[in-house]
Amino acid sequence: MTTFRSTLLTLAALAGLALAAPASAQRDPAYEAARAEGTVGERTDGYLALTGGGDAALRKMVDDINIRRRAIYARRAQAEGATMEEYSFTAGCIAIGRTQPGEKYQAPDGSWQTRGGGAPQRDARCPG
């Protein structure tokens, strides 16, 4: 990716990421509790995942959020002339960067990490 294209994708992903997890899910106490407890985390590919445990209701909530994210990524990738993979990867970089201390995220090596007080480990290809 060129620097210009990378910048455009970053800006587009920033605009879309706010929509990626539906507002209702973001306010859902179960969603917030799962993030705080580390039972869900942000993946490097821009999607949410169970990191361990979780009941059927939590699995359904994660699946629903990911379905919505995929639809948003598809629309925005097409509008930006990017592939889904490029767009979702950039969104994943941003989502991981936005995690809060105590929340889980996927490191570049695929392992699950708990965000500390510093910056999370991000893929070297992540913009900015």
Which structural domain, as residue segments, surrounds residue 65? 3-113
Q: Is residue 48 within 8 Å of 41, Cβ to Cβ?
A: yes
**pLDDT tens-digit readout, 4-39:** 455 545 555 554 554 455 444 556 888 889 999 999
Convert the pLDDT of each residue in 51-110 to its tens digit. 987 889 999 999 999 999 999 999 999 999 999 999 999 999 999 999 999 999 999 999
User: What's the Cα-to-Cα distance from 9 to each of 46, 50, 60, 123, rounded to whole Å?
Assistant: 13, 27, 29, 16
128 lies in some domain: no
Stated pTM of the model: 0.81
- How many structural domains does the chain have? 1
Give strand ranges (E) for 1-128: 40-42, 48-50, 104-106, 112-114
Residue 17 within any structural domain of the chain: yes
How many CA atoms lie less than 13 Å away from 112 in the CB half-sphere?
Answer: 14
